[in-house]
Structure 1
Amino acid sequence: MDSYLKLIANISDETRALADQAGSLPCPTGCFDCCRNTATMSISLAEAKHLSIGLKMLPHQIQKNVQEKAERTINKIEQEGYSEEKVVMDGVESAEIIKGHVEGECPMLLSGVCVVYDYRPIICRVWGYPIQNNLEVACCKKTFLDSERKYKPLPYNQYWNDCKELSIPLNSKQKKDATHHIPICYFVQYLLKSD
């Protein structure tokens, strides 16, 4: 866990430096558009382990609300013939089923607030800033308005690879998964359903 905490500290330093360079934080106040259509997004097991700390600290009623929201997402995607494994394999295609629906929102987004903000996954820490995603520079359309190419993008690919590497020793607690990641809605269901 120490290596993961060092990684997120490094990411915080890099996002802070980029915000300073740009002159402000990228996200408009009250915006949570990036939390929509993310319920089936996969996170690494290292991210999941850290996220579980934040989820377990929530009051029981909030945990219940998060778990119920994840269940609604799972029910919707499974009605369309998807399983956890198929969501992992199909990625963006599975997200299309829930896109624009309340079931698409991250289960940890309640009343427009991330209830696990300090424990959020890596993509949630860097989205809004220009990020290197494979061969492309990606950026939220509401931030760095047409200026994302002026800034050195954050190395999201490297962060994701680091998370997958840190996940290898954690794989024994989850289903055997060569990619070492899990969709958020299923992770929340597994973690909170037993409580």
Structure 2
Amino acid sequence: ESYETVKRLDAKHGLVWLKPADMNNTYAFAMQRKRAEAEHINTMSDMVAKIEQIRKTTPDKNWLLGLDLEFAGRSDGMKPLQAAYKMDLDRPQIRQMDPGLVYNAVRDGFVDAGLIYTTDGRVKGFDLKVLEDDKGFFPSYAVTPVVRKDTLEANPGLEEALNTLSAQLNNDVITELNKKVDIDHQSPQQVARDFLRSKQLL
């Protein structure tokens, strides 16, 4: 519905929304994969249940969540998330930090779970497990090509080419590509070129 609405409204401004990729660069919580699998934590609800278990059995131990400053204070951020999942947290359980540091904090065990972006290369690079948002709290940020109508008309074949590229992208693909840049220190240009060649798009 969001896509159709934006597509219709932007058409009045000469913008054409093409086919969205199966790729959602939204928020999620992540944990160390080995730990999440050992403790059978696959969803946000699983994590909340674990937090409650610790609260009841070992009240002297805190479950720590790593968040960026913006999300902690946003009107659509931490407070409504806690309400949606009935997640009780004391203030000392929330560690606020720069968004880029959250991944390292989860990897190194400084926090038990952290707020991440689902397509960040460090998810694969640090072997993190993205927890399923089983209550559908986080909005969808579907990646979609948007092109000026006059540009499409002046370049026959551009729409087909972009739709073909869009169909090749999903979270697993883009996370692996981001990993090559973020972790393996390859240039974005080289990673993009290699990917396009592998798909016979160059």
TM-score w.r.t. the length of structure 1 is 0.23
More strand by share: 2
Name the structure with the higher helix share: 1
TM-score (norm 2): 0.22
